[in-house]
């Protein structure tokens, strides 16, 4: 997704903007640009295709001065990857500069109706917006604020935007507006900033004000003025983010993904401390949440990608420990193909970012229908946490790598604790989770084994399978996503019993099939299915729990409660994906075509 940063009141603002863009790189992009108002030195607009490092190099010999500016990383939607399509976009007369995250659905209609005769420089919807502001400012003699609001009033309801605008006639001011695409305003004594993601500007401030849908803000170096949809001035307190800027750095790690795989153990301990008291009673989950779930007759877990996979695991906990039937749905499907709901549904949204557009679409519908909902997310103060009835934190710390790892295991842990709290299960969950955390560390400390497995099983391979049954099938789809999304090896996660109903035809000499065997009820069956593919030439790799292990298994996992085995089984899959990707010389943290937070549908 596109990334936005802006700042005013910072001496030599350019380095802060470029550093902010570097912090946003994990979101995925294909071009970048910056505008700095240089006062008497004039306006500086620099844009480049590719990485922020190219943009940085392009600014080096331009002696860019200035204390206010805006910058952007673009993930192409309307218009190809080119310098002309990169943001900031400039109005025809060079007065206005605009960056945008989102999509203006009716931009071509606006172009045809209002911008006849304007020489457009790009194929983008964003340029239409900045040219409209220019037009309304001149022809209707409107202030920049009113010209911006008039442009916004013309956008159709399905449009999404995070706008950050500068006008070189008011050089210290920034104008921000937002609908669906998140924007935060950072406030400090020295300077004020605007950003798509707080992590980008933590070097300047840890205090932020949330901009809500339909609102507009005018920001200068001393103050922030908020206006509601009707243009009425409103007040809003800032919130303090307890994230130290260093937490968003890689430190000694070569990649964020490896750091975040390692951090899973700390996260498990953090969650245990947060959600259990010294007597192993659950705490920090409001009784209202427990009661609302108890009052329901069916749970609907809704999520995307890895979070959806965490829901497949959590379903088992809710059904086993609460006795409430539980469905798990992919957000983008549920949003437009809602199944017949029970009489008293309760919705659980799982999300690392809290901003996934597909999940937000479902939450909008759920709220409109008046149903109760809970968001379990890593980024609190995000749209999904704010708009659901209830919210619970994952406390995993910033997850920067596109491939989600610690958020997945954190989601599984919080689902287990919640189900345990609702169902008063007999399991000594605090102790079982503590054991799982210890064993997670044991596995993480054996990275060399997974480096070897990745080399032996996946080198020069273009396809692979992860198979299992029950909870192992749930982990298999997550294992497959990890491998395919960063190594680009076409990988399927498959219910082992289903292979013989068609897909086994894909098995040929050397096809890597990684079998997961941690569930005693089906271990024999899965080993039979592994034997079937092996008989057809597959190169099989078995990852089994100790109590179910056999000689020649590639890796033996320590034993914990079978229901919690996904916390262990996923770690080899994360590390195998990591090493397979390194073997291919690919960027582990920033795979092609992908964004960390998919904030458009
Ligand atoms: C997981 O590795 C991917 N990055 C992706 O599937 C991600 O889990 C999905 O986009 C959902 O994001 P969310 O958890 O922030 O809602």
Give 488-541 pLDDT, tens digit per residue.
999 999 999 999 999 999 999 999 999 999 999 999 999 999 999 999 999 999
Report yes or no: 302 and 362 within 8 Å, Cβ to Cβ.
Answer: yes
Q: Which atom of ligand 1 is nearest to the CA of 304?
A: 11
Give 385-423 pLDDT, tens digit per residue.
999 999 999 999 999 999 999 999 999 999 999 999 999
Strands 184-187 and 207-210: antiparallel
Report how far ligand 1's centroid is from the alpha carbon of 172 (Å).
37
**Strand residue runs (E) in 118-183:** 160-167, 174-179
Pocket test for ligand 1, best of 304, 329, 411 (most atoms within 8 A of CB): 304
Nearest CA to ligand 1 atom 16: 351
Domain extent listing, the chain: 3-248, 251-442, 446-588
Give 452-488 pLDDT, tens digit per residue.
999 999 999 999 999 999 999 999 999 999 999 999 9
Is 37 a pocket residue for ligand 1 (Cβ < 6 Å)? Answer: no
Is 55 a pocket residue for ligand 1 (Cβ < 6 Å)? Answer: no
Is 304 a pocket residue for ligand 1 (Cβ < 6 Å)? Answer: yes
Residue 59's contacts (CB-CB under 8 Å, 6 or more residues apart) are 14, 18, 34, 44, 46
Least confident segment among 97-101, 113-117, 197-201, 279-283: 197-201
Domain 446-588, CATH homologous superfamily name and number: Glucose-6-phosphate isomerase like protein; domain 1 (3.40.50.10490)
Please report, for residues 84, 111, 256, 381, 454, the alpha-carbon distance to residue 105 in angstroms, rounded to integers and kept in the order given. Answer: 20, 12, 35, 27, 44
- Residues 179, 221, 259, 596: which is the catalytic one? 596
Residue 236's contacts (CB-CB under 8 Å, 6 or more residues apart) are 209, 210, 226
What is the reported pLDDT for 493? 98
Is 598 a pocket residue for ligand 1 (Cβ < 6 Å)? Answer: yes
Report yes or no: 229 and 41 within 8 Å, Cβ to Cβ.
Answer: no
Q: Which CATH class is domain 3-248?
A: alpha beta
> Would you call 233 exposed, middle or buried from its count of C-beta atoms within 10 A (0-12, 13-18, 19+)?
exposed
Identify the CA nearest to 69 among candidates 224, 219, 190: 219
Report how far ligand 1's centroid is from the alpha carbon of 481 (Å).
10
Is 402 a pocket residue for ligand 1 (Cβ < 6 Å)? Answer: yes
- Residues 2, 23, 315, 484: which is the catalytic one? 2
Report yes or no: 491 and 459 within 8 Å, Cβ to Cβ.
Answer: no
Alpha-carbon gap, residue 40 to 51, rounded angstroms: 30
Annotation says 23 is catalytic: no
88 upstream amide cis, omega within 30 of 0: yes
529 torsion bin: left (phi>0), alpha (psi -120 to 50), beta (else): alpha
461 torsion bin: left (phi>0), alpha (psi -120 to 50), beta (else): beta
| Coarse DSSP helix, strand, coil percentages of the chain, rounded to the nearest 5 percent | 40, 20, 35
Give 422-436 pLDDT, tens digit per residue.
998 888 999 999 999
Is 511 a pocket residue for ligand 1 (Cβ < 6 Å)? Answer: no
What topology does CATH give the domain 251-442? Rossmann fold (3.40.50)
**Are 3-248 and 251-442 equal in CATH topology?**
no
Helix (H) or strand (E) holding 472: helix 471-487
Annotation says 19 is catalytic: no
Alpha-carbon gap, residue 171 to 596, rounded angstroms: 33
């Amino acid at each position: 997704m596109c990334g936005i940063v802006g700042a005013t009141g910072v001496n030599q603002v350019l380095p802060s903007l470029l550093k902010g863009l570097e912090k946003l790189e994990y979101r995925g992009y294909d071009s970048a640009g910056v505008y700095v108002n240089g006062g008497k030195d004039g306006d500086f607009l620099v844009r480049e295709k590719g990485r922020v490092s190219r943009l940085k190099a392009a600014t080096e010999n331009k002696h860019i001065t200035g204390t206010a500016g805006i910058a952007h990383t673009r993930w192409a939607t309307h218009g190809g990857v080119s310098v002309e399509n990169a943001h900031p976009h400039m109005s025809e007369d060079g007065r206005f500069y605009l960056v945008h995250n989102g999509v203006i659905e009716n931009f071509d209609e606006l172009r045809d109706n209002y911008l006849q005769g304007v020489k457009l420089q790009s194929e983008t919807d964003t340029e239409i917006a900045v040219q409209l502001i220019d037009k309304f400012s001149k022809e209707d003699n409107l202030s920049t604020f009113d010209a911006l609001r008039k442009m916004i009033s013309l956008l159709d309801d399905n449009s999404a935007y995070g706008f950050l605008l500068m006008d070189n006639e008011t050089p210290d001011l920034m104008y921000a507006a937002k609908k669906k695409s998140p924007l935060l305003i950072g406030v400090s004594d020295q300077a004020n900033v605007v950003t798509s993601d707080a992590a980008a500007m933590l070097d300047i401030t840890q205090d932020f004000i949330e901009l809500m849908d339909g609102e507009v803000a005018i920001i200068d170096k001393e103050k922030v003025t908020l206006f509601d949809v009707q243009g009425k001035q409103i007040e809003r307190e800032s919130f303090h983010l307890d994230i130290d800027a260093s937490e968003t750095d890689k430190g000694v790690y070569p990649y964020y993904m490896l750091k975040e795989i390692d951090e899973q153990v700390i996260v498990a301990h953090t969650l245990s401390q947060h959600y259990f008291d010294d007597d192993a009673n659950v705490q920090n989950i409001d009784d209202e949440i427990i009661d609302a779930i108890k009052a329901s007759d069916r749970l609907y877990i809704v999520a995307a990608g890895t979070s959806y996979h965490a829901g497949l695991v959590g379903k088992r906990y809710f059904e086993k420990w609460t006795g409430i039937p539980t469905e798990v749905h992919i957000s983008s499907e549920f949003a437009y193909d809602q199944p017949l709901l029970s009489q008293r549904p309760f919705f659980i949204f799982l999300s690392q970012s809290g901003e996934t557009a597909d999940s937000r679409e479902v939450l909008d519908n759920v709220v409109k229908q008046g149903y109760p909902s809970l968001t379990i997310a890593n980024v609190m103060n995000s749209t999904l946490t704010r708009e659901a009835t209830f919210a619970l934190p994952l406390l995993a710390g910033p997850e920067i790598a596109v491939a989600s790892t610690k958020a997945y295991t954190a989601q599984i842990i919080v689902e287990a604790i919640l189900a345990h709290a609702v169902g008063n299960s007999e399991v000594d969950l605090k102790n079982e989770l503590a054991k799982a955390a210890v064993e997670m560390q044991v596995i993480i400390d054996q990275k060399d084994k997974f480096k070897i497995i990745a080399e032996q099983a996946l080198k020069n391979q273009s396809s692979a399978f992860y198979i299992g049954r029950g909870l192992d099938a749930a982990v298999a789809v997550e294992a497959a996503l990890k491998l395919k999304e960063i190594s680009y090896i076409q990988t399927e996660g498959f219910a082992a019993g289903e292979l013989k109903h068609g897909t086994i035809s894909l098995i040929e000499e050397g096809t890597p099939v990684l079998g997961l065997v941690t569930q005693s009820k089906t271990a024999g069956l899965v080993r039979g299915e592994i034997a079937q593919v092996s008989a057809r030439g597959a190169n099989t790799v078995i990852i089994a729990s100790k109590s179910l292990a056999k000689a020649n298994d590639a890796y033996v996992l320590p034993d914990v409660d079978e229901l919690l085995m996904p916390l262990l089984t996923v770690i080899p899959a994360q590390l195998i994906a990591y090493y397979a990707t390194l073997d291919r010389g690919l960027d582990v943290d920033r795979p092609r075509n992908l964004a960390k937070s998919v904030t458009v549908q």
